[in-house]
A = this chain, B = another copy of it.
Amino acid sequence: MHRPRKEMIAETRAKLIAAARQAFGTLGYAEASMDDFTASAGLTRGALYHHFGDKKGLLQAVIAEIDAEMSARLKVVSAKPDNLWQGFVDECTAYIEMALEPEIQRIVLRDGPAVLGDPSQWPSQSTCIRSMTESLQRLRDEGTILAVDPEAAARLVSGASLHAAQWIANSNDPEATSKKAVKAFKVLLEGLLNRTGRLHQPDRPSAIQPEVDRSPA
């Protein structure tokens, strides 16, 4: 049999990624010693260099794994409501919530860009951006939002979400900060909405309307 062989190899790969993910997520990329976390997986740097080339290669693998998980979660969330716009809003909210998780924040949002360069150039191509772009494309086809470039809007929205999340995460009062951020975020999102009257869509996206305070300061 040649199965156990392949399985062992896959297992060491998985163990390395898991150990690195743990170390990167807690200590950060720069402070994580390859000797240390390979040892914690019962291996040495030899295995690491064999499978991933170098430290950056391992970081890529870790990020690819996390990115896939994030994308899967987003897809589930955005598909749940029957209303497309509501699905998009939920997707953004989920994105913010994910960006609040320390592991994602540190590995994907902080160390990743610093070590691997701009995320838009990554092989994983930030699958989340794609997911969001597709959602916006559908909303545009539907006539719910204005004629903006879906990818552009997706990038802007994700950028705003991301910063909101970092702001919240490092706030003294995350609860209060979160409230303020989400409210402002929804107001901003309304800028995308087509306000020329109801079009193709029988039920207009009213989901977020009640939450917005339309009275001036």
Contacts and interface: CB of A to CB of B under 8 A. Distances in A.
A181 B181 CA distance: 22
B170 A216 contact: no
B164 A159 contact: yes
A155 B181 contact: yes
B114 A148 contact: no
A188 interface: yes
Interface stretch (A36-44, A65-73, A189-197): A189-197
Nearest to A141: B217
Interface string A135-165: 0000011010011110111011111111110
Given A181-B155, A187-B191, A217 B140 contact: yes
Given A149-B184, A162-B163, A216 B196 contact: yes
Q: How large is the interface on A (under 10, 10 to 19, 20 to 34, 35 or more residues)?
A: 35 or more
Contacts of A214: 146, 194, 196
Interface in A81-126: 110-111, 113-115, 117-118, 120-121
Chain A interface, >50% SS class: helix
Contacts of A195: 195
B156 A181 contact: yes
B163 A181 contact: no
A183 to B, nearest CB: 6
A165 to B, nearest CB: 9
22 contacts: A30-B114, A143-B217, A146-B213, A146-B216, A147-B216, A148-B184, A149-B183, A152-B177, A155-B163, A155-B164, A156-B164, A157-B188, A159-B161, A160-B160, A187-B191, A188-B188, A191-B191, A191-B192, A194-B216, A196-B214, A196-B216, A199-B216
